[in-house]
Amino acid sequence: MKETIKIPFGVYYQEQFSKPMRRKQDVVSFILGVVNVLLVGESGSDSSGILYLKRNKMNRVFCFMEGKYFSTVFPFDVEFDENGNFYKVYDSISDIRINNRSVALLERMLEKIDFEESSIDEIIEDAYLDIAEDGYTDKDIDRCFGLILRLLSMELGYIRYDYDPERENGRLHPLYHVDINYSTKGTYKLGMNKKMETAEFIDMLDTKTDCRYVQ
């Protein structure tokens, strides 16, 4: 098994991955974007960032762009053929192979979900009405909706490193800092005295290496 998969991505995904993450839906949307990058393959000369998929005990995806790194759990399995070439992405719990068509369905469902305004029954009914005419079977819809609900109930372990000269404000908002959690009500910062390198960010989260200490 490849423990590290390295995939560059272009300007389109840079714009997608640069959007603020304030809700769990935003983090799940990023994960689905990572699946699309895996399915499309490596970017060419317009490479604007890079993904590292670490598949050992932690199973995380790392996204690196200029001045911004972040990471979250990657809940899917990735398989390669006997020649080491990418083969498929799948969810082992629901036994769903994740392809472009299922990603499109998952993204549409994710956009429809609003737990504050609708009940589960209303969300499911809206999903069927919106999607049923597009050639998806009842089984497709049921399995993908179940997968979306599971992703939204998971601990996704979101963490972000920022270099933020525009909003730097002494020790209140340090130039270099790590933001932990995504919501404005639950997030907190850890300031740093110097720039963090990509390898340091990975090592900080790697459960197979020595721990780092705050003090």
* Rounded-to-integer distance, Cα 106 and Cα 29, Å: 9
Domain annotation covers residue 82: yes
- CA angle, 53 as apex, 51 and 57 as ends, to 5°? 150
Write down the pLDDT at residue 27: 95
Strands (E), 10-163: 49-54, 60-65, 68-73, 77-80, 86-91, 96-97, 159-163
Domain annotation covers residue 143: yes
pLDDT-derived band at 60 (thresholds 50, 70, 90) equals: very high
Domain annotation covers residue 152: yes
Domain annotation covers residue 210: no
**Domain containing residue 147:** 4-203
DSSP secondary structure code for residue 56 in this structure: S
Selection from 118, 108, 76 nearest residue 94 by Cα: 76
Q: Which of 3-12, 43-52, 196-205 has the lowest mean pLDDT?
A: 43-52
pLDDT tens, residue by residue, 82-98: 776 777 898 988 888 89
pLDDT tens, residue by residue, 98-129: 988 889 888 888 887 776 666 667 776 776 67
Domain annotation covers residue 213: no
Domain annotation covers residue 197: yes
Q: Which residue, chain included where needed, has tokens 């979250």?
A: 72
Q: Which residue, chain included where needed, has tokens 């996204």?
A: 63
Strands (E), the chain: 4-9, 49-54, 60-65, 68-73, 77-80, 86-91, 96-97, 159-163, 176-180, 188-192
Count of structural domains, the chain: 1
- Specify the higher pLDDT residue, 136 or 181: 181
Compute the chain's Rg from CA coordinates: 18
DSSP secondary structure code for residue 173 in this structure: B
Question: What's this model's pTM, rounded to 2 decimal places?
Answer: 0.88
